[in-house]
Amino acid sequence: MKQYQCPAIPENLRPVLSVVGEEMIACGTETGLRQRIFVILEELFNNVALHAYADRSSPGPVIITLLADMDSVQLQLADQGVAFNPLLVDDTNRLLRLEQMEEGHEGIFLVKTLASQVDYEREDGWNRVTVLVRS
């Protein structure tokens, strides 16, 4: 298991992607699975960096935890920002309503589409989004 903590700012996305990529390669994670995780991580990290701490004068932390093997990856992002449960976003029939789609939440829809499972919890002031992706 690999864990990485940094301030939740957009400039930290590239180093986070690098650390996660190196860990998945070391674990022998299949290429297609790695690519899905990169997209998911980018969407979740950007959501934290842009929205979680928007009401504060300085960015708070984001903790990324990764557990990977050849056929599956579990990725968790934790932040102390405002409570936000992405599972409550109604994206029922979203692809059928593209012309009516409002701005926002496209990343959440993409994460839900690419992941095998997405879970959310809020505990002790921390948001935790855990994503499981299987090949």
Q: Identify the structural domains of the chain with CATH numbers, from first to last.
A: 2-134 (3.30.565.10)
Burial of 40 (0-12, 13-18, 19+ CB in 10 A): buried
99 three-state secondary structure:
helix
- pLDDT tens digit string along 24-80? 999 999 999 999 999 999 999 999 999 999 999 999 999 999 999 999 999 999 999
88 Rama sector, left if φ>0, alpha if ψ -120 to 50, beta otherwise: alpha
- pLDDT tens digit string along 1-26? 899 999 999 999 999 999 999 999 99
- Indicate the pTM of the whole model: 0.89
